[in-house]
Amino acid sequence: MSFKQLYMNRHAVHKFGGKEGPPISKEMENELLEAARWAPTAGNMQPVRYVVIRDQETKKQLQELAAEAKQISGYWEPRFRDGGVWGEVNDLIQPELLIAVLTIPTEVPPNTQNYAVDMMGAAITMEHMWLAATEMDLQVGCYCHWLTEKVKVLLNVPLAWNLAGIMAFGYSIHVPKMSRKPLDGIVFYEKVPGEY
């Protein structure tokens, strides 16, 4: 698969099932984690950690937390309510493998702009896993919508660490094909136009 084919075939699924595939072996799991390990991080400080989850009970509890996060966000944002475009709770039970992506913010030196460089590194590791999974013909869900402290308690994560998100890997026929804004709406040349 060319790089272009790979990134055009990468999609986010929110629902698994309807498609069979080989079980996600330890080798496949390691391939995903290796892809993550080789992602770049600020200063090569590598502040990203991973929790591999296959336990059904943990998945069930995560699913309940995902539902709670949507319900609470729905208080302010109608799209998260039942029947809203983002109202459906993501499937965390059917996908065989979940990987929680965490960062240790103290492992990157503070910088002048207080960028969340630890989280930027985590995001790149997530995309590396996402592309590696696409090459393996796995479907992927990427979930960042959590009451993070509750997830940290469930996974025994130190309070000071960040939860970047939870990736779900499995098989699915429910693959939305999302579009993108055209380049001429998002790219400026030399300067941002306009007057202040």
Ligand X SMILES: Cc1cc2nc3c(=O)[nH]c(=O)nc-3n(C[C@H](O)[C@H](O)[C@H](O)COP(=O)(O)O)c2cc1C
* Footprint of ligand X (CB under 6 A): 11-12, 14, 90, 142-145, 165, 176, 178
Q: Which is nearer to ligand X, 12 or 42 (by Cβ)? A: 12
Query: What span, in angstroms and rounded, lies between the C-alpha atoms of 68 and 145?
Result: 10
* Three-state secondary-structure class, residue 33: helix
- The nearest distance, CB 15 to ligand X, in angstroms, is 9
- The nearest distance, CB 77 to ligand X, in angstroms, is 12
Q: Which is nearer to ligand X, 136 or 144 (by Cβ)? A: 144
Q: Between the CA of residue 54 and those of 23, 45, 92, 93, what are the distances in Å?
A: 12, 28, 10, 10
Q: Which is nearer to ligand X, 14 or 174 (by Cβ)? A: 14
23 HSE (CA, 13 A, CB side) = 3
Q: Which of 138, 142, 144 is nearest to 127 (CA)?
A: 142
- The nearest distance, CB 11 to ligand X, in angstroms, is 4
- The nearest distance, CB 177 to ligand X, in angstroms, is 7
